[in-house]
């Protein structure tokens, strides 16, 4: 049987995405490995990354798959629905399957005559069972975590049981061989990804990951992680976890095993500011084995805002975490949230705060009520747009205190003035000299797009 797994592109009106960074489609690599694990080579599986390979029709026609699976985040919903409509138009007999984060938290959004099955939660074993039953001509009833349409209703099976992450096969990275040199985050390129844990013990109201994991924090056995790391060819590795540093003892053990194995990589991972503050020695251990960069969700510079989103960290934690990382020579990828209620004074205060922390890199996400989060349930009646193309952490879904034009002018200035010019120039030194002109043009295009985002709401 022929199986095509597709990573969708962003919608034209979505800002960011693959224009800013590009991570490997790890979920699809897991699905591909799961289909092949423990069985004969009766299936031919391909991964199509439409962020890089644009001609779906040509690839589909050449391959002519029996099953097409597409993964989707919230901002991909409209794109994915259109892709499935195209595919069914080419061959109505093909089995179409959607999965991913949005399918897990809001499966009803994929009720469509062009989508046969919806996979909720971890899809590796569910998808393998779908492939097996389809090959035998058997119905799909009763597969845990799978939903399908019956008339205008959605028929769901019971949720999947909690899964031991160590039972999963290693992702099949051979299927993305032709794309791998293109995966990156800023200067870290080519960049591989690895999952070492899932879930988070915290309960932030803007995040659904803790709900997807049933409120639990699942961890892979360190020796299995090292075994997989040894197979990764790229020098740069991103830990695609919801939060990597929570279990300090486990991460210390993992660092020791990596050192003993003689694996030399450059690492990029997520860490909470309070975790970093409590465990500075852990960051030192990881710095010594190649930790180059930490994504820190600082979120806000005021405790009242941190309390509003139930972050359970403080502005003092944020400042201490940045200080610790700077002292260790580890780059800080600082992530902030902009509330729609922000005034000009709030924007100015955030700009000054970033400059005071002496950051050389920061991103600013507009507070986004993603489906599946407590925030979404709290404010869904206030949304000014339900267009999923705009759920990109840059478009606002909520009314702003300033006019939209003023809001996005201030938002633009956060990106262009929140980081001191000297710090911005120091960041450019990380790139090869020949790349800098292209980066400057790309950055100018992005900043100009931010400033005119308000125009999207006039259509």
pLDDT in tens, 375-412: 999 999 999 999 999 999 999 999 999 999 999 999 99
Can you read off the two tokens belonging to residue 181? 């040199």
Ranges for all domains in the chain classified under CATH 3.40.50.280: 2-156
| 105 touches 95 (CB < 8 A) | no
Was domain 2-156 assigned CATH 3.40.50.280? yes
Q: Any bridge partners for residue 95, and if so which?
A: 67
Report the percent of the chain where pLDDT is more than 90. Answer: 92
Is the bond into 190 cis (omega within 30 degrees of 0)?
yes
Where exactly does CATH 3.80.30.20 map onto the chain?
Answer: 173-458
Query: Distance between CA atoms of 80 and 440, rounded to whole angstroms?
Result: 32
- 75 pLDDT above the threshold of 50: yes
Tell me the average pLDDT across 52-56: 95
Of the options 3.40.50.10490, 3.80.30.20, 3.40.50.300, 3.40.1280.10, the CATH number for the domain spanning 173-458: 3.80.30.20
Q: For residue 295, is pLDDT > 70?
A: yes
Residues of the chain by 3-state class (helix, strand, coil), percent to 5: 45, 15, 40
Predicted pLDDT of residue 36: 82
* pLDDT category of residue 152 using cuts at 50, 70 and 90: confident
pLDDT of 41: 65
Tokens of 348: 């100015």
* The token pair that represents 312 in the structure block: 């359970």
Three-state DSSP class for 355?
Answer: helix
For 90-146, how does the pLDDT look when each residue is reduced to its tens digit (9 = 90+)?
999 999 999 999 999 999 999 999 999 999 999 999 999 999 999 999 999 999 999
How many helices (H) and strands (E) the chain has is answered by: 17, 17
């Amino acid at each position: 049987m022929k199986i095509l797994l597709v990573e969708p592109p962003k919608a034209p009106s979505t800002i960011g995405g693959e224009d800013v960074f590009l991570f490997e489609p790890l979920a699809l690599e897991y699905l591909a490995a799961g289909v092949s694990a423990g069985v004969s080579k009766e299936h031919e599986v391909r991964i199509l990354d439409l962020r890089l390979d644009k001609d779906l029709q040509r690839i589909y026609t050449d391959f002519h798959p029996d099953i097409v699976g597409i993964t989707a985040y919230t901002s991909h919903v409209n794109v994915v629905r259109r892709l499935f409509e195209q595919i069914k138009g080419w061959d109505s007999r093909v089995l179409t399957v959607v999965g991913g984060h949005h399918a897990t938290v809001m499966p009803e959004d994929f009720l469509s005559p062009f989508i046969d099955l919806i996979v909720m939660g971890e899809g590796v074993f569910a998808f393998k069972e779908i492939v097996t039953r389809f090959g035998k001509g058997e119905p799909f009833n009763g597969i845990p975590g799978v939903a399908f349409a019956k008339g205008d209703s959605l028929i769901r099976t019971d949720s999947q049981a909690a899964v031991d992450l160590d039972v999963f096969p290693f992702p099949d990275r051979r299927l993305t061989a032709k794309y791998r040199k293109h995966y990156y985050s800023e200067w870290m390129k080519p960049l591989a990804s690895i999952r070492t844990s899932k879930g988070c013990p915290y309960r932030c109201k803007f995040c659904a990951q803790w709900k997807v994991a049933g409120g639990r924090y699942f961890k892979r056995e360190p020796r299995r992680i090292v075994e997989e790391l040894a197979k990764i060819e790229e020098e740069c590795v991103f830990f695609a976890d919801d939060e990597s540093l929570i279990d300090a003892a486990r991460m210390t053990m993992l660092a020791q095993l990596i050192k003993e194995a003689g694996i030399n990589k450059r690492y990029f991972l997520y860490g909470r500011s309070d975790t970093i503050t409590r465990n500075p020695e852990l960051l030192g251990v990881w710095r010594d084995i190649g930790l180059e960069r930490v994504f820190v969700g600082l979120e806000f510079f005021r405790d009242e805002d941190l309390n509003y989103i139930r972050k359970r960290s403080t502005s003092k934690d944020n400042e201490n975490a940045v200080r610790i990382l700077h002292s260790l020579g580890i780059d800080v990828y600082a992530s902030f949230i902009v509330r729609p209620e922000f005034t000009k004074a709030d924007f100015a205060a955030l700009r000054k705060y970033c400059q005071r922390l002496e950051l050389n890199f920061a991103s600013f996400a507009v507070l986004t009520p993603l489906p599946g989060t407590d925030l979404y349930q709290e404010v869904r009646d206030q949304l000014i747009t339900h267009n999923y193309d705009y759920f990109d952490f840059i478009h606002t879904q909520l009314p702003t205190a300033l006019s939209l034009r003023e809001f996005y002018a201030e938002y633009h200035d956060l990106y262009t003035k929140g980081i001191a010019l000297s710090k911005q120039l120091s960041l450019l030194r990380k790139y090869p000299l020949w790349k800098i002109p292209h980066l400057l043009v790309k950055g100018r295009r992005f900043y100009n797009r931010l400033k005119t985002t308000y125009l999207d709401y006039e259509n």
